[in-house]
């Protein structure tokens, strides 16, 4: 393809010179790798948990329930990129303590953990507990930070910035691979566009980026319909649509009492909805791709 629109299209020359490690070597090249016994690229992977690790009780409760339902990974931020700097006791990061609770939940319920790190100084602490380090949207192009995360050699999930092109996203992923860290998962979490159908929806889930990414890269790609829709009633349909589009996994915000979630209370689903959605995602993945999520239960 001629690179007529720099910043948008990706030419064969770009694939060779700008992201040779992220680029597919041939049409059927898709990498698969195991993280804590979960095989990315081969089975449909689910991540579930609250937006924020609000308390010890909350994270233990969620770990127990989502594990029982069939989630592969427990998610939850102890370090959170919160849009405004003001805090109250309910709306507060739990930071080091939150990481400790994640570690406790992981051991107690035998579920691996994915959690975000935002500052270089906390990388060792987070890497000790996390099975996958999450790089948040807002840090997608913080190259020295990405490089420092990559050097831990822990698996990394790189969330797409909501204003980023596929080209820039893959360029950021290349920064991880170039450090010799090959366990990289991409996560589409919604892009910022003028029209999002509802005033509560800040973002639009870019489902097209799933096949677009799969044309170019062998890396697994996960969708996050919770952050993308910002609206729990749409999470089910967008999860199923994401799987139909070919996503390798789904990250979902799950909370025992969604309306009282400390952060973004409009987007999490409860355990019952999560259970029903997992069953439907499993059925769909089996029909379309002969992949399963529930074989490990």
Supply the DSSP string of 158-223, one letter for each residue. EEPPTT--HHHHHHHHHHHHTTT---EEEEE--B--S--SSTT---B--TTHHHHHHHHB-S-EEE
- Collapse the DSSP code of 258 into the 3-class scheme (helix H, G, I; strand E, B; otherwise coil) and give the result: helix
Which residue number, 189 or 236, has a Cβ lying nearer to ligand PEP? 189
CB 38 within 8 A of CB 84: no
Is residue 77 near ligand PEP by the rule CB under 6 A? Answer: yes
Spatial distance between the Cα atoms of 238 and 215, rounded to a whole number of angstroms: 21
Is residue 137 near Mn ion by the rule CB under 5 A? Answer: no
159, 167, 183, 255: residue in contact with ligand PEP (rule CB under 6 A): 159
Is residue 229 near Mn ion by the rule CB under 5 A? Answer: no
Is residue 226 near Mn ion by the rule CB under 5 A? Answer: no
Site size toward Mn ion (CB under 5 A) is 1
| Residues 251-270 contacting ligand PEP, CB under 6 A | none
51, 164, 181, 229: residue in contact with Mn ion (rule CB under 5 A): 51
Q: Which partner in ligand PEP, Mn ion, none is near 196 (CB below 5 to 8 A by kind)? A: none
CB 239 within 8 A of CB 205: no
| Residues 210-239 contacting ligand PEP, CB under 6 A | 227
Q: CA nearest 49: which of 119, 132, 122, 120?
A: 132
Q: Cβ neighbours of residue 240 under 8 Å, at least 6 residues apart? A: 280, 281, 284
Is residue 51 near ligand PEP by the rule CB under 6 A? Answer: yes
Q: Which partner in ligand PEP, Mn ion, none is near 255 (CB below 5 to 8 A by kind)? A: none
Chain residues in the site for ligand PEP (CB under 6 A): 51, 77, 81, 116, 136-137, 159, 189, 227
């Amino acid at each position: 393809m001629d690179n007529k629109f720099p910043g948008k299209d990706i030419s064969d020359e770009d694939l060779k010179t700008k992201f040779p490690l992220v680029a597919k070597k041939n049409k059927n090249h898709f990498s698969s790798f195991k993280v804590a016994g979960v095989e990315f690229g081969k089975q449909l992977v689910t991540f579930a948990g609250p937006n924020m690790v609000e308390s010890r009780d909350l994270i233990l409760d969620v770990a127990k329930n989502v594990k029982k339902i069939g989630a592969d990974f427990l998610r939850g931020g102890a370090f959170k990129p919160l849009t405004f700097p003001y805090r109250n006791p309910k709306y507060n990061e739990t930071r080091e303590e939150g990481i400790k609770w994640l570690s406790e939940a992981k051991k107690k319920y035998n579920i691996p953990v994915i959690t975000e790190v935002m500052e270089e100084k906390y990388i060792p602490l987070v890497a000790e507990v996390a099975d996958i380090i999450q790089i948040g949207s807002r840090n997608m192009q913080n190259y020295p930070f990405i490089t420092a995360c990559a050097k831990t050699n822990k698996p990394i999930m790189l969330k797409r910035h909501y204003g980023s092109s596929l080209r820039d996203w893959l360029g950021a992923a290349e920064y991880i691979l170039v450090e010799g860290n090959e366990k990289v998962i991409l996560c589409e979490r919604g892009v910022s566009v003028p029209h999002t159908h509802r005033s509560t929806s800040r973002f639009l889930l870019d489902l097209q980026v799933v096949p677009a990414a799969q044309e170019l890269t062998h890396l697994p790609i996960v969708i996050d319909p919770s952050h993308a829709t910002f609206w729990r009633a749409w999470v089910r349909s967008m999860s199923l649509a994401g799987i139909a589009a070919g996503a390798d996994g789904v990250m979902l915000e799950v909370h025992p009492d969604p309306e009282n979630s400390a952060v973004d209370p409009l987007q999490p689903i409860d355990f019952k909805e999560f259970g029903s959605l997992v069953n439907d995602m499993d059925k769909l993945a089996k029909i379309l791709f002969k992949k399963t999520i529930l074989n490990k239960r």
